[in-house]
Structures are given as C-alpha cells and as structure tokens.
Amino acid sequence: MQMNDLLKQYNTIQEDVEKRIAGVFQHGKFIMGPEIEELESQLEQYVGVKHALTCSSGTDALLLALRAWGIGPGDAVFTTPFTFVATAEVIVRLGATPVFVDIDRHSFNLDPMKLEKEITRVLKIGVLKPKVILSVDLFGLPADYENIKSIADQYNLKILEDGAQSFGSSLNGKKAGSMGDAAATSFFPAKPLGCYGDGGAVFTDDDELYKILKSIRIHGQGEDKYNNVRIGLNSRLDTIQAAVLLSKLPILNQELDLRNCIASLYSKKLQGVVRPPSVEEGYKSSWAQYSILSQNEKERDLLKNKLAEAGISTAIYYKTPLHLQPVFNHLSYRENDFPIAEDISKRILSLPMHPYLTEEEIDSVANILLVTLKHTAN
C-alpha cells in the first residue's frame, strides 16, 4: 500500500490529461504558454485572491515572496523548526536569519504565544530586525492565523503563509493561500493539488508585490525579457505542468471530500489505539498527510516496521527538527531549545493518505497497529 497512489488518480482523468498535454505539443509554446494564464486565473478564483503567480516549485514560491519584500542580511524571519528544510532554507539563501518558534502540541503548527515571546526577545537583543512571520500549514491544516495576524499587526510584520501542503484547506471559510500578505504553495506530485513534476505558486492581493514577483520570476525583467531592472530567477512553471494542473483542479474538491472521509475513518478506527490528529472547529484540512503519535520513539519505530512487513508504506515527517539539522549549526540552537517539536519528532508517523484508499485498506492499517500494540502491552 502506497503513501499516495497517483496512478489511481491518473486513471480517472487520463483522457483529459492526455488531451491537454497534446494541445501543448500542438501549439508548441512550452514556456509561458496560454495554459499558464488560464491556470493562474482559475487559481485566483479558487483561492479568492487578486493575483496568482505560478512558478517552478514551492521552494521558489517562498523565495520569490521574500525576495520581493527585500528580505536580506540583518532581517529576522520567524518560523517553525517542525517543517521541511525549504521553509528555512530560503531565508538563509537571502542572507536573513531564521528565528525558530516552538509548535503547538495538538496542531503541530507554530504556537502564537511562543511567537510573541520570540519577537520581543529579538527586539530586546537588538541585533536583528523582525520582518516576516513565515507560518507553515503543516500536513494540510492551516496555522492559527487569527492570532498570528494580531501579532503581525502589533509588531508591523509581514505574514508569508507556507501553504505547500495545504492547498484546498480553509479556516472559517477562508481558503489557504489567502491568509497572509502573501502565500506560497507547492504542486509537487504528492501534494493535494500536484502536477507531474515540480511546480508552485504565489498568491497575494497586493498589486505592487505582484508586479515585482512577475519581474523576479523571469530574470528580473522590466519592459521585456531583455530589459532587466533587478536580479531575478529563472522560476517559470512549464506549460505542460500547467496543463496537468488544469486537468486536476476540477476534481480537487471531490478529492478533498474523500480525504476528509478517509481521515474520519482512520480517526474512528484508531481512537484509543494511538493519538490521531486533531482538527478544531472552523478548520478544514486538506490532509496532505495523516499523522499519528505513538507513546515514544521505540513504539513508533515498531509500528513502522510492522506496517512495512505487511507492505504498507509510512513516513516520518520530520525525524529531526530544523534547529538540530547540521546545515543550521551556525544559528547556535541546541537540543531542548524547542521541546515540543523535539518530542513530536520522536513519536510521529504518517500513514498512507490519498483520495482513493478503500475502507478495507484503512482497516488493514488500523488492525496492524491495534494487534502490535496489544502484543507489546502483554
């Protein structure tokens, strides 16, 4: 059993995907073809923002937004250590400093109360200038934007929503991608809305920011690609990938409903066995991952091995929090600096999650977990 069965999804949309890709070959505009503009228009409508700018990856989407804001040396960007490396990687690439904030024990997202303490600490030291809160919607669940926005307004900070895993989710009816001054998402194949390669997008209501983003995306171009007004990137989404996304977007809501049904089944069957993920009222997750918590690391590894013996794939997101990764040694963080993130990293396990899982498959996973834990208890 795979973590994400893209073949089952392809079989449902094969005819439309092949038709759209053939259309790209027929017009031959493989870079910035008409499908790009069509996709961006549909993304704007879906998310509910003025501007969507596609790009080559979710990592570049984060990088584009930070660079457009002029983030660089001496700037502090507040983010979570419990995420994929790209979140903090882009900050360092610009010469700025990631300031990590511990997570909430239940949502696994950045804890707003701890966020404010970190901001005041940085201000008191006076070496770095607070500029951006880079919140992460982990596993498809939006962060606590009501409280994050209140803090951002108080300290005059920008909010960049890392929605790489949360496209299609919502908070009080507001779609992921529309909750910050800008937002980034990823179209990596395994994401809730994924293409057949790398891809991403930036969302914003800010007209001026959008103009700068468009320029940076194509080598800092001005009036045309041979008039360059700033240092930019080569960060365009390929037209073929846009064609794939145009085939997938119409079935996204249906797939999200299926993901939520599957998550509910998992939680019902696993209640009292392990700790299932929690989703508070007002939140709707896109369930990029379904992640459980064991009692400890030894138990987590045992469960992972037993599932593997039955041919069931699992993953650990994330085994080592970012503040303990060698690449960030220069930040001088130590073990126990972020105890909740460190504790969760030792106990978390992600189970297969995609819209085409059957109840029989979910039963198989749940039964193995139950039998394994009963055996160890005896």
How many CA atoms does the CB half-sphere of 282 hold within 13 Å? 8
Instruction: Indicate if the pLDDT at residue 361 is higher than 90.
Output: yes
**pLDDT tens track for 27-66:** 999 999 999 999 999 999 999 999 999 999 999 999 999 9
Q: What is the pLDDT of residues 209-266, one digit of tens each?
A: 999 999 999 999 998 888 999 999 999 999 999 999 999 999 999 999 999 999 999 9
Q: For residues 110 and 136, is the Cβ–Cβ distance under 8 A?
A: yes
Structure tokens belonging to residue 101: 């904030």
**pLDDT above 70 for 268:** yes
Place of tokens 């194949």: 189
DSSP for residue 261: H
Q: Please write the tens of the pLDDT for every residue from 135-192.
A: 999 999 999 999 999 999 999 999 999 999 999 999 999 999 999 999 999 999 999 9
CA–CA distance, 108 with 110 (Å, rounded to integer): 7
Check residue 225 and give its pLDDT: 80
Q: What is the mean pLDDT of the chain?
A: 97
- Residue 376 is predicted with a pLDDT of 77
Q: Please list, in sequence order, all residues whose beta carbon lies within 8 angstroms of the beta carbon of residue 236, skipping any fewer than 6 positions away.
A: 31, 32, 36, 54, 55, 56, 217, 218
CA 142 vs CA 13, 104, 107, 116, 282: distances in Å: 28, 12, 9, 19, 10
Question: Which helix (H) or strand (E) segment is 165 a member of?
Answer: none
377: phi then psi, degrees, rounded to nearest 5: -70, -30
Q: With a cut of 70, say whether residue 333 has pLDDT above it.
A: yes
| pTM, rounded to two decimals | 0.97
Q: How far is CA 224 from the centre of its chain?
A: 32
pLDDT score for 347: 98
Single-letter amino acid, residue 125: I
Please choose, from the candidates 149, 151, 224, the residue with its C-alpha nearest in 3D space to the C-alpha of residue 179.
149
Closest Cα partner for 167 from 149, 187, 196?
187
List, in order, residues 6 or more apart from 322 with CB less than 8 Å away. 80, 81, 82, 83, 85, 87, 88, 98, 100, 328
* Mean pLDDT, range 99-104, rounded to an integer: 98
Other Cβ atoms less than 10 A from the Cβ of 145: the count is 23
Structural domains in the chain, CATH included, are 6-101+108-250 (3.40.640.10), 252-377 (3.90.1150.10)
Contacts for 371 with CB less than 8 Å, ≥ 6 apart: none
Nearest to 204 by CA among 251, 159, 144: 159
Quick one: average pLDDT of 283-309?
Answer: 97
